Amino acid sequence: MTARLLDGAALAASIRTDMSRRAAALRALGHPPGLAVILVGSDPASSVYVKHKVKDCEEAGIRSILDRLPADTPQDALLARIDQLNADPSVHGILVQLPLPPHLDAQRVIETISPAKDVDGFHISNAGALMTGQPRFLPCTPYGVMKLLEHAGVALAGAEAVVVGRSNIVGKPQAMLLLQASATVTICHSQTRDLAAHCRRADVLVAAVGRERMITGDMIKPGAVVIDVGMNRISQGPNAGKLCGDVDFDSALEVAGAITPVPGGVGPMTRAMLLVNTIEAAERAAAAQCN
């Protein structure tokens, strides 16, 4: 058996087309959507991510504001800039690219963003709203995963879902969304005993731990749906330096029923859902002005 590939790039392209249509409708009403992105420092990976996000905005008809700040930017200066963007009615979404330089308090930065403009879905009020099933914004990566599963026709009600990773950005919100879809959810992490046994129970396995190829084919239930959130570089061997996920793709491909590739799986969906959140923020702002 060879697994079916879940093509995140193709689905993301379809979503971007829909967001372009909704952005055009907002512009026609005199409410052009706007996203502000703040990049502190010159981390190469972050710079690439931001470049793609800005390009996505331009193609979708969303005005983008890119603030490139030096790595030694004081925290007070960063928070003051966020306050300016909070007060700017032409800005509907604010994204501060993570990770931040170590002298900056990432949680304080996130909490300074207005919850109504927190298109990453990281603010504590948005995280709490997700916990209670009434989210304003869903974190982009878990949101993208759910859209991929929906598009693939994966039945989640009653399914055994295992999430490997417990971060606030992916693991925890992913578990909440799967639970809200009526899956039975297990969260695994670095202290989990017998990780392989937990993974082998999963009808849906989400790997979001940030360790290259740690989930191997013998840890996967035959026919399972495998979602690989990881984005790593192969550390050694003839393919050293190439992108890979948290799943050993070659061995998993022979066991799983469906699997996301890396790249081309979850990554494009994360960026697409950022556009969705930004458009929804702009639509809410436009509706509020009309009332």
User: What are the domain boundaries of the chain?
Assistant: 30-115, 140-267
d(CA 266, CA 37): 21
Q: Please tell me which residue in 56, 97, 203, 228 is annotated as part of the active site.
A: 97
For the segment 216-266, what is each residue's pLDDT rounded down to a tens digit? Answer: 999 999 999 999 999 999 898 898 889 999 999 999 999 999 999 999 999
d(CA 188, CA 179): 15
Omega before 99 within 30 of 0, i.e. cis: yes
Catalytic residue list contains 53: yes
Task: Please tell me the predicted confidence (pLDDT) of residue 290.
Answer: 80
What's the 3-state SS for the chain?
CCCEECCHHHHHHHHHHHHHHHHHHHHHCCCCCEEEEEEECCCHHHHHHHHHHHHHHHHHCCEEEEEEECCCCCHHHHHHHHHHHHHCCCCCEEEECCCCCCCCCHHHHHHHCCHHHCCCCCCHHHHHHHHCCCCCCCCHHHHHHHHHHHHCCCCCCCCEEEEECCCCCCHHHHHHHHHHCCCEEEEECCCCCCHHHHHHCCCEEEECCCCCCCECHHHCCCCCEEEECCCEECCCCCCCCCEECCECHHHHHCCCCEECCCCCCHHHHHHHHHHHHHHHHHHHHHHHHHC
Q: Which residue type, as a one-letter code, is found at position 161? A: A
Fold match flag (30-115 vs 140-267): yes
Options 3.30.230.30, 3.40.640.10, 3.40.50.10860, 3.30.530.20; which CATH number does 30-115 get? 3.40.50.10860
d(CA 194, CA 224): 19
Q: Please tell me which residue in 56, 118, 120, 203 is annotated as part of the active site.
A: 120
* Homologous superfamily of the 140-267 domain (CATH): NAD(P)-binding Rossmann-like Domain (3.40.50.720)
- Examine the pLDDT at 88 and tell me if it is beyond 90: yes
Catalytic residue list contains 120: yes
- Examine the pLDDT at 187 and tell me if it is beyond 80: yes
For the segment 26-67, what is each residue's pLDDT rounded down to a tens digit? Answer: 999 999 999 999 999 998 889 999 999 999 999 999 999 999
List CB contacts of 116: < 8 A, sequence separation 6 or more: 136, 281, 284, 285
Comparing CA positions, the residue from 181, 102, 101 lying closest to residue 138 is 181
For the segment 130-174, what is each residue's pLDDT rounded down to a tens digit? Answer: 999 998 999 999 999 999 999 999 999 999 999 999 999 999 999
67 neighbors 35 (Cβ within 8 angstroms): no
Q: Which residue type, as a one-letter code, is found at position 74? A: P
Give the bridge partners for 185, in sequence order: 161
Question: Could you tell me the sign of the dihedral formed by the alpha carbons of 232, 128, 33, 83, in that order?
Answer: negative
- Write out the two tokens for 136: 């304003």
Distances 44 to 38, 103, 104 between C-alpha atoms, Å: 15, 19, 18
- Percentage of the chain with pLDDT > 70? 99
Compute the average pLDDT of residues 179-189: 97
d(CA 56, CA 77): 28
Task: Please tell me the predicted confidence (pLDDT) of residue 1.
Answer: 66
Compute the average pLDDT of residues 96-122: 97
Comparing CA positions, the residue from 93, 24, 41 lying closest to residue 64 is 93
Q: Please tell me which residue in 53, 117, 147, 172 is annotated as part of the active site.
A: 53
- Please state, rounded to an integer, the average pLDDT across all residues of the chain: 96
Residue 184 banded pLDDT, cuts 50, 70, 90: very high
Residue 181 banded pLDDT, cuts 50, 70, 90: very high
